[in-house]
């Protein structure tokens, strides 16, 4: 089968999960195409050869969870791309979350696909480290979950799950998280860290420009940021080899600790939905 893995990955963890999924599918004899819509040339569906969508027997859709939701660029891309799929194409979902909760990301994605009549075979959620955590990822636990997930899809003969059953599967959050979901965007807005650029340190390598998942940076001597596009993922500050992107990213760990005190850790951290 032809399998398309379509994802966005500001911190690179979803990209690593996508590669692990691809390797496992390829071991089973499938053809896999990886499409990172956070890279230049892939950010809008019109930039991508439509044959990639039309030839897919299965599409895996992946992304990180920000403020208990999917990233808006992923949902915007899907809203335009899903009508291009072959009517027989089936989907599965995968999300990575580095905070304390995967929120309603899977539920929202499933509702979006349902609007375009794309059947879903299953999903998997995986805890992933924040950029300040230097652990090797995917770790053994995540790789085992990925292996079990793909084995489960095969055991079920890639059959879609009924929409009502999907909603039941994806409505797993605690009452606290369900309430926080409606406040997360407001709170997230107030927690945005300042991002500035040091002209004396910047070497003009454009790495931040190339790796920004939404194309919010342009180089005019030094990077200039489009604040309306910016996701505040802070990837630019992490990847800059000259430390020319100035941002107090150490505060992210403090925010996570506060969230844990308020809501607790989501359990189980990794989970398969079939």
**Contact indicator for 6, 59 with CB cutoff of 8 Å:** yes
Collect all residues with Cβ–Cβ distance below 8 Å to 215 and sequence separation of at least 6. 40, 43, 229
Structure tokens at 72: 């808006």
Same domain? 93 vs 226: no
Distances (CA, A) of 129 to 24, 124, 158, 203, 229: 22, 16, 30, 29, 24
Same domain? 102 vs 233: no
241 pLDDT higher than 90: yes
Same domain? 116 vs 168: yes
For residue 75, the tally of other CB atoms under 10 A from its CB is 15
Q: Compute the distance between CA of residue 154 and CA of residue 135 in angstroms, rounded to an integer.
A: 31
Same domain? 43 vs 136: yes
Same domain? 63 vs 168: yes
Pairing of strands 90-97, 120-127: parallel
Whether 183 is in a domain gets the answer no
Domain that holds residue 228: 194-247
Same domain? 26 vs 132: yes
- Name the domain count of the chain: 2
Render pLDDT for 8-62 as a digit per residue (tens, 0 to 9).
Answer: 999 899 999 999 999 999 999 999 999 999 999 999 999 999 999 999 999 999 9
Whether 182 is in a domain gets the answer no
Same domain? 150 vs 67: yes
Whether 77 is in a domain gets the answer yes
Q: Compute the distance between CA of residue 211 and CA of residue 226 in angstroms, rounded to an integer.
A: 15
Structure tokens at 215: 């194309």
Q: Is the pTM of this model over 0.85?
A: yes
Same domain? 127 vs 218: no
Write down the pLDDT at residue 100.
85
Structure tokens at 181: 């979901």
Q: Residue 230 — very low, low, confident or very high, per pLDDT cuts 50/70/90?
A: very high
Q: What percent of the chain has pLDDT over 90?
A: 81
The chain-wide mean pLDDT, for the chain, equals: 94
Q: Residue 261 — very low, low, confident or very high, per pLDDT cuts 50/70/90?
A: confident
Q: Compute the distance between CA of residue 77 and CA of residue 83 in angstroms, rounded to an integer.
A: 11
CATH number at residue 136: 3.40.50.360
* The dihedral sign for the CA sequence 187, 188, 189, 191: positive
Same domain? 101 vs 221: no
Q: In the chain, which ranges are continuous DSSP H helix?
A: 13-27, 50-54, 72-81, 105-115, 140-155, 163-170, 175-190, 207-211, 235-239, 251-263
Structure tokens at 82: 């899903």
């Amino acid at each position: 089968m032809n399998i398309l893995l379509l994802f966005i990955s500001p911190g690179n963890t979803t990209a690593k999960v996508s590669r692990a999924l691809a390797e496992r599918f390829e071991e089973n004899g499938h053809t896999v195409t990886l499409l990172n819509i956070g890279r230049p040339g892939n950010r809008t569906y019109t930039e991508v050869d439509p044959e990639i969508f039309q030839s897919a027997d299965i599409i895996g859709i992946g992304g990180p969870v920000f403020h208990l939701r999917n990233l808006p660029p992923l949902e915007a891309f899907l809203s335009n791309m899903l009508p291009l799929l072959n009517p027989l194409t089936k989907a599965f979902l995968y999300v990575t979350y580095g905070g304390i909760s995967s929120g309603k990301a899977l539920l929202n994605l499933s509702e979006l696909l349902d609007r375009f009549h794309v059947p879903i075979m299953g999903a998997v959620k995986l805890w992933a480290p924040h950029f300040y955590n230097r652990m090797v990822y995917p770790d053994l636990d995540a790789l085992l979950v990925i292996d079990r997930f793909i084995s489960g899809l095969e055991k079920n003969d890639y059959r879609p799950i009924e929409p009502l059953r999907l909603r039941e599967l994806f409505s797993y959050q605690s009452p606290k998280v369900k309430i926080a979901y409606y406040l997360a965007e407001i709170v997230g807005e107030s927690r945005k860290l300042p991002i500035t650029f040091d002209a004396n340190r910047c070497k003009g390598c454009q790495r931040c420009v190339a790796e920004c998942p939404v194309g919010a940076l342009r180089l005019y001597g030094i990077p200039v940021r489009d604040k309306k596009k910016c996701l505040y993922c802070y990837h630019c500050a992490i990847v800059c080899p000259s430390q020319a992107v100035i941002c107090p990213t150490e505060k992210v760990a403090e925010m996570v600790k506060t969230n844990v005190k308020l809501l607790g850790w989501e359990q189980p951290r990794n989970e398969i939905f079939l």
